[in-house]
Amino acid sequence: MTERGRDLRMYLPVYAIVLAVYIFAGWQSASFFTWNNNVNLFGRVTPLILAGLAQTVVILTGGIDLSVGSMISVASVTAASLPYVDTPANLVLWVLVPPLVGLAMGAINGLLIAAWPFPPFIVTLASSSIYLGVALYILREPGGEVSLDATLVSSGKIYGIPIPLLLMLAAVAAAYLLLSRTRFGRSIYALGGNETLAIQSGIRPGRVKFFVYSLSGLFSGLAGAYLSAWMFAGDPLGGEPYVMNSIAVAVIGGSSLMGGRGGVPGVIGGAYIFYLINNILNLLGINPFYQYIAKGVILIAALAVSAPDLLRRLGLERRREQ
């Protein structure tokens, strides 16, 4: 299969589902296609997309980051307890400090994973517990205060375009360019595809892993900062759902947990599915508890369809002539 064909096959299921759900929603409820509803959706989906990007870059190397949630929490409580004074410099403080805190936490993960032979799963399991402790130490309960300038980020507009939409597109574009247009990006894929081969071809795995986990921390920090602006407060447990959701988003978006396969374009679709389901159930007035079942079923369906050798596994594929 050509590279383009493979890409298409990877991202097709997720966007087919998104499109189907979107059209179904518009058909069921007239208010779905309104601009306001969609602006609302951009605002909700942005932190999940950022978390999904954080997870995707790590998953591409064949690793996993279970500390994404705790890093988001730390960034969010940090953003809510910064010493804001009444100047526009507040915005700079809010934009810089939480993401840098996230970057630092990610760098610690990266150092441990690069320097020690421990599996990423365990290192990030341990560090997620440690970072959660730090978040709880900074703020025991949801609270604190975020500068009013920063809260405009989640609700404001530039030339009529909602800022969350811009932020989301900028983050996705940056991650896409990094992965597909740079040497570093190619070395991530190489490492995830076959570590031994990557080492033999001159890639230093430790360095790539360090940068990848740092990047994951940076994206998580951005997500945490954004969440604090969206909620007007910090929440030490607010990041928790993002651990599993980010993995689900990355995987629905076509990235393989084995590494080396997947990428950024699917992340938007993966994150959208999550919130579209919520949104539809709300608009239709269905018990929101059904969203869990819908999410689970869609996750299984999307993965079963995109599994590379599904037909062979089920014994349905006809013998192909070489």
Partner 1 sequence: MMGLWRKIPEGWRSLLGLWAAILALFAIGGMFSPGFFSVSQGGAIFRSASFIGMVAMGQTLAILIGGIDLSVGPLVSLGSVFGCLMLAGKDENNLWAISVILLIGLTAGILNGIGVSLLGISPMVMTLATGAIITGAVLIYSQGAPTGNASPALRAVGVGFTWSIPNSVLIWLALGTTLSLVLKYTTFGRGVYYIGANETAAGFSGLRVNFIKTAVYALSGLTAALTGIIIAGYTSVAFVAAGRDYPMQSIAAAVIGGVAMTGGRGGYGGAAAGAVLLCLIESLLTNMNMQEPGRKIMNGLVIVMLMTFYYRKRLGSGSKKKAAG
Work out how close the CB of 207 gets to partner 1 at its nearest, in angstroms, rounded to a whole number.
11
Nearer to partner 1, 89 or 130 (CB): 130
| Residue 140 or 181 having the CB closest to partner 1 | 140
Beta strands in 238-316 (DSSP E): none
Structure tokens at 252: 């629905």
Q: Which is nearer to partner 1, 133 or 143 (CB)?
A: 133
Q: Which positions lie near partner 1, rule CB under 8 A?
A: 64, 112, 116-119, 121-123, 125-130, 132-137, 140, 195-196, 205-206, 244, 247-248, 251, 256-258, 287, 289-297, 299-300, 303-304, 307-310, 313-314
- Nearest-approach distance from CB 248 to partner 1, in angstroms: 6
226, 153 contact by CB (below 8 A): yes
Angstrom distance (rounded) from CA 72 to CA 51:
8
**Min dist. Cβ of residue 125 to partner 1 (A):** 7
Q: Least distance from C-beta 295 to partner 1, angstroms?
A: 5
Phi and psi, residue 143, nearest 5° = 170, -150
Between 19 and 297, name the residue whose CB sits nearer to partner 1.
297
Torsion angle of C-alpha atoms 70, 75, 220, 183, degrees rounded to 10: -120
Tell me the one-letter amino acid at 113: I
The smaller minimum CB distance to partner 1, of residues 20 and 197, is found at: 197
Distances (CA, A) of 315 to 46, 301, 311, 312: 41, 18, 6, 5
> For 33, which DSSP code?
G
Tell me the one-letter amino acid at 37: N
Least distance (Å) between residue 256 CB and partner 1: 8
Q: Which two tokens stand for residue 110?
A: 């990266």
Nearest approach, Cβ of residue 101 and partner 1 (Å):
16
DSSP assignment of 241-283: HHHHHHHHHHHHTT--TTSSS--SHHHHHHHHHHHHHHHHHHH
Using the minimum distance from each CB to partner 1, give the nearer residue, 43 or 63. Answer: 63
